[in-house]
Structure 1
């Protein structure tokens, strides 16, 4: 009898503690189920245009690239706004080079970024601002800066982030993504970086939830046994 009293009391208080977090788990989980992942990723807002690269005798030879840019670790050819370019990596640094002349093109200026954004964006808004980002906002996580941010004037408040070194579309951010990120923070209980899915707080909440379930199961069987005896 005494044990049932303490288990019942523990069950009640554990329920009060874990109940709020359980509600957040359900709300965030519902959002993740209702809103498709491709929408969260912003695939409907911007795409990366691709053009087939054809053989050309005008391209600069790779051996000449190594002479002009020592320390090359990798070379990739791609199309940038109708111009064939080499993306060269020298360790952690990346630069763009005109495939014909060998001229260094990066970092890309504001006008080039606007042209890249116009080519990628498929939404209905118009550009309301272009920002040179040197300190990554929360929505970019650990992505390296600097980056160009192109902001659009539309209900979803879309922002496209481009690398000035490679011209790549690094991230698509909009209101549905930001709501996802906010709810994800509560879902995994990482209130700082929003990335650690194995943090101490989440493990503690999970163990507490398990204790709540076990105490409830014990009380359920206890009540059945008590009725049988009665």
Structure 2
């Protein structure tokens, strides 16, 4: 067996597992509805607060000139949110008073109001470190787990009680097969991961070398069969 045929053979075995991962993960991702993966069917938006009684944010804006002003809400209360990098400040739009972090009882109420389901809350905890499944969020925040078949976890902001992310078993499965698909086994985010580039280039090389070697292999097989002696006991067709 020539060097190129050996190389082609060994590359084929190496690539087989990853090809199965690509095909399998692509199939799983195509079968999972993206709205269910994101948990959109489990959450509902709170009614918008009444802003007619809100005071002007001008005085607060002067206190925080480097911050960006956003309109938010805490349940039915309108809120002014000032953001600058990772710093977040919250003020009642009715009194201009700084808002304290919500209590567990308040978080429970807000989580139930934003949950579109009938099952009970299984666990509530305030997190100082974010789990890997919400690695893009910043701590501290609240995690509310519901005892439903979807295994849903709601992650709420600690000052407003706003649902920042919803995670379900479908999302966790999607995230796992996405990792296999893009071959980013650490962060699961880099679509330009070096491993993916190397394996994709190798797969292309494998395909091209296979196409180049096939005619040569057929020609060699034909010459071998032509020169092969016919056994003495074989019958020659008329």
Aligned residue for 1:44, secondary structure, equals helix
1:65 and 2:55 aligned: no
CA contact (8 A) 1:151 1:157 kept: yes
1:14 and 2:11 aligned: yes
Aligned to 2:27: 30
Aligned 1:96-135 pairs, distance under 5 A: 96-135=90-129
Give the number of the structure whose alpha-carbon radius of gyration is greater.
Answer: 2
Of the two structures, which has the highest relative contact order with CA contacts closer than 8 Å and spacing of 6 or more?
1
Q: 1:108 to 1:95 in 2, by over 3 A?
A: farther
Aligned residue for 1:130, secondary structure, equals strand
Q: Distance in 2 between matches of 1:60 and 1:85?
A: 11
Q: Tell me the TM-score normalized by structure 1.
A: 0.87
The counterpart of 1:208, out of the listed 189, 196, 202, is 202
Aligned to 1:84: 78
Q: Distance in 1 between matches of 2:157 and 2:198?
A: 39
1:48 and 2:42 aligned: no
Q: 1:72 to 1:48 in 2, by over 3 A?
A: farther
Q: 1:48 to 1:72 in 2, by over 3 A?
A: farther
Task: Give the aligned CA root-mean-square deviation in angstroms.
Answer: 2.2
Q: 1:31 to 1:124 in 2, by over 3 A?
A: farther
Q: 1:52 to 1:164 in 2, by over 3 A?
A: closer
Q: Distance in 1 between matches of 2:43 and 2:182?
A: 28
1:160 and 2:154 aligned: yes
Q: Tell me the TM-score normalized by structure 2.
A: 0.85
Q: Distance in 1 between matches of 2:135 and 2:215?
A: 48
Q: Structure 2: state its 5+ residue gaps.
A: 227-238
